[in-house]
Each structure stands twice: as structure tokens, then as C-alpha cells.
Structure 1
């Protein structure tokens, strides 16, 4: 026998459905509306099966314990640090592990931009579970949603809850589904590039560290980051160059060297191609 709700220490809020319909017509809110949200600690015997699909997406963050979910794509185990995202209008089921019941933060979402978010995050019934590195940040955002919903159902509170949910989904889009070794290797390579902006790093080096051929590594990198390795590296270098131009009195040649370009003229050409102006002109621009 499973329990859908009712756990010691829980928090839960449900937006009245007439208010949901009103929110879906409000400017600035209709793009994403939180209809339900909650926190279930040590949710022993928790479970729900929806044979009739609902119009909302269900997002659950497991912060402790274990659980599972089922979609038409199969049955999936869920552990601490993983997020379950169940698309709307698909039958599904989920529940806590009998021996190690999960602790979850959860919310239901609807709105005109929801489908676009789910597509960008590559959410499907075949891949409803993903590992994230920012579990506490995600939990804090769900808690923020709950706090606003607990306050009242005014437009101001609904708008604030929507904003926190927007932030949460943005994080999920920014962190594509991971958990396999190849994805982790690509993430580590990107982190290495961010930490070594001023160094000359070849694609072949990164590929060798990931135990992949250069062509396979380059394809996986582009798929995961949305751009080729060299363009990603150039963006990192340009971002660092902007910081140095804005906050130091270093010469253009010195900045060029700091961000990994031995030839300051080539650096200036790359900077102009990115920003539409020379480094000197950028430094003279009024900002802020």
C-alpha cells in the first residue's frame, strides 16, 4: 500500500485550479506557472501511479535515500543527487524505496514556455532521470517556490514562484543529462579549459585524457556544449580579456599573452570578430 502524501515534517502547497487558469493569462507569469510544490522528508511508502496523464510536468529532486519512476520508456532507479523530470501528458508512476525511502523536493509546472524548456533540456520519457551537481541550489529554489506559495495566492507571490521555477529549469537546461563516463569526461574537459584559459590546449590532449579519438571527442563536446572546442576556448579567452580590459591597466600585448595569444595582432583580430570593435575601443566604452 502506498501513500501519496502525509509525511512528518512535510511542506506542500497546491494552487487552486481556478487561480491556475487565471495565472495562465497573466502577463509575465503565463510562460511558466507552478501549480503544486512540496517537500517530503523520509517519505516511507510514498508512491503514485497516474494511468491518466496530467497536463503538468512533474519535477522531483531526490536529496537522500532512494526511489524509482516508471514511464513508457521503462523503469528507472533514482538515488540522491538525481532529478526526475516527467513530461506532461504521459502516464507515469513513482515511489520511494522500501528500505531507503527518499527525501524529495518536488513541483508541478505548466505554462506556454514549458515545452520549450523540456526540449532544451532534452527531457523525454526514455530519459526521465538525470544526475546534477547543483542539488542544494535546486533544493533551495524549490524551497523558495514553496515559501512564496505558502505566503498567499496573490499575483505578486505567483510571479515570484514562477521566477524561482524559471531559474530552476534554466539550471536543468544548463546541465544536460549526465551520469555516463563520456559525458563526465566532456564536463571535466570543459572545466579544464575554464581553469586554464591562458594555456595552449590542443583538442588531441583533451581527447587523450578522455580516452577518446580526437574526432569522437570533438563530436561529443559539440553535442554537449553546443559549440566546437576551439570556439568554446575562444569565448573563454574573450571573457577573460574583457575582465582584464575593464579592471586592469595592462597593455593590449600583456592581456593578449595572459589569455593565451602569443601574437597580439591575432588577438586583436579575434577580439574584433567577437565584439565588433578593437580591444582599445572596448576599453574606452562607458559601461555600467
Structure 2
């Protein structure tokens, strides 16, 4: 799924309670009362109400409650194709793990809604997912408001060619994971707008067009050099939706997946014949 709730809850921790178990999902904690600390990425933060922190999947972390005034927090754990991008839209990144949180009442409103529909059913699955998305939307809106209040001209340390090179390396390594432009920009530490302007300057195309072109050429190669099905090829280049993949492929090459494969096979046979029967 694009995004799915794994777990949610609220807890008043005992004094000195510590957790240091890496998780395989994203988790956002909201500090509601008391105090505690969070250590990740070589940094440690002392946290109090009005702050939130994110745990990235499979990252070494430690967080714990204060000895004299242990914290109470709420949390949401989620994963999915869009999880990384949504975390970024909420303001988080590997370099920004702690942020001010929205009003507690707003957070608890949606978490309580999720908890009130905990019985297993298809309908409740959808309700929990809907409330998760609404909560993430509130976090994204909160981040946008804070960013607008504190916006300053961005200055980057390196030339556009360096950022384009780093972006291409990241695309080559992760194109099959369903990444988007926000993921690429976040990974190299620049804004989406600057990433696109860098690609336009260096390559004469947007970062989005480069990403799509790269995926389509990888897909075309798999289509004619392997026996993978269309679904397998689609998944191999980061598309969960085969219809979206097929439309993107046809737009790029001007023909359907089936016609492309047939055309390539015919051209290969023609070239072989020309080699075998020189004039």
C-alpha cells in the first residue's frame, strides 16, 4: 500500500524507561507531558511537551524517560511506498529528526479515532488508514506554516553539477524503490525547486523527466532481455500500478509494451540477417 498504519498508542512511561530497539517502520512520537531524551545519528536531544521526533526504519536509536519527570507520549508507526516522502513532507529528514509538533488536542483527536476502531475488519482498516493520512496532513500543514514564517533565502555549498551527480547516483541505487523527487532532494539536502533548477541547468530537463526516462530505459531493457512479465518489469522499476507504468512507457517510446518488444525482436532479426547476408 502507499501508506499503512502499523501501530499507534499513548503511554505514560516509568522513570528512566529506555528503548533502543531498531524498528522496520517509521515511528513519530509526540511528547505530551514530562521530559525525556532521544539519541540518533550521533546527536542527542532533550525533549519536552510540544515536540515530536521520528524514528527511521532500521536506524540505531535510543530514547528514554526522565528520571524525575518521565514523559507521556503518543505515537504512530507506519510504512508503505510513500512513507519516506510523507515523512519529508511533514518536515522530517535524516538531518532533521526533531520538530515542534502541532497542538496536542489535534494529535490526540486522530490517534483516539484510530484506537476507537481497533477491531479487525475491512471497514476499520480503511478508517484507521484515513485517520493516519489526516494526521499526516496536519503535520505537513504545520510544517508548511512554520517554514513560511522562517523562510530565508537558501544557499547551497556546492555547484549544481555536484548536486545533479549526487542525485543521479541516488536514482541509480534506488529507482526500483518507488522514489520521488522529494526523496531525491531530501537525500542530498536541497529543496525540490533547487533540484529541478539544477537539472534544467546541467541537463536541460527536469529532475522528474530524468527519473522517468531512467526508469523507462531500464524497463525497456528488462522487457527485451528477460522473460519477466509486465507486472514484474513494472515492479522492478518502482511502479506498483501497472496502468500508470504502461502509460508512462507508451508516452516515452510511442508504442505499447507488447509492440515495443515485438518491434525490438523484429529489428534484431533484421540486423542478424544483414550481418549474415552482406551485400
The normalised TM-score by structure 1 is: 0.49
On the 8 A contact 2:35/2:49 being kept in 1, the answer is yes
Q: Secondary structure at the match of 2:47?
A: strand
Cα displacement (A) at 1:89: 2.5
Structure 1 partner of 2:249: none
Structure 2 partner of 1:68: 37
Residues matched between the structures, number: 158
Structure 2 partner of 1:140: 109
CA RMSD in angstroms, aligned pairs only: 2.8
Residue 112, structure 1, aligned to residue 77, structure 2: no
Residue 129, structure 1, aligned to residue 115, structure 2: no
Write the mapping of 1:54-93 to structure 2, written as runs, cut at 5 A: 54-93=23-62
Q: Secondary structure at the match of 1:164?
A: helix
Q: Secondary structure at the match of 1:170?
A: helix
For structure 2, the residue ranges without an aligned partner over 5 or more in a row are: 156-191, 194-279
Q: Deviations over 1:119-141 (max 9, x none)?
A: 22231233211112422201221
Q: Secondary structure at the match of 2:132?
A: helix
Q: Deviations over 1:7-65 (max 9, x none)?
A: xxxxxxxxxxxxxxxxxxxxxxx222111221112543332102xx4220111111111
On the 8 A contact 2:92/2:99 being kept in 1, the answer is no
Structure 2 partner of 1:241: none
Cα displacement (A) at 1:166: 0.8
Q: Do the aligned partners of residues 115 and 82 (structure 1) sit closer, same or farther apart at CA in structure 2, a change above 3 Å counting? A: same
Distance in 1 (alpha carbons) for counterparts of 2:36 and 2:144: 18
Structure 1 partner of 2:138: 171
Q: Secondary structure at the match of 1:153?
A: coil
Q: Deviations over 1:87-143 (max 9, x none)?
A: 222121111111110011112111121111012223123321111242220122112
For structure 1, the residue ranges without an aligned partner over 5 or more in a row are: 1-29, 189-215, 221-225, 228-288
Q: Deviations over 1:71-92 (max 9, x none)?
A: 1241111110111111222121
Structure 1 partner of 2:244: none
Structure 1 partner of 2:196: none
Structure 2 partner of 1:187: 149
On the 8 A contact 1:130/1:177 being kept in 2, the answer is no
Distance in 2 (alpha carbons) for counterparts of 1:122 and 1:172: 8
Write the mapping of 1:1-288 to structure 2, written as runs, cut at 5 A: 30-41=1-12, 43-50=14-21, 53-149=22-118, 152-176=119-143, 187=149, 217=152
Cα displacement (A) at 1:177: 8.6
Structure 2 partner of 1:232: none
Runs of 4+ in 1 over 4 A off after TM superposition: 216-220
The normalised TM-score by structure 2 is: 0.50
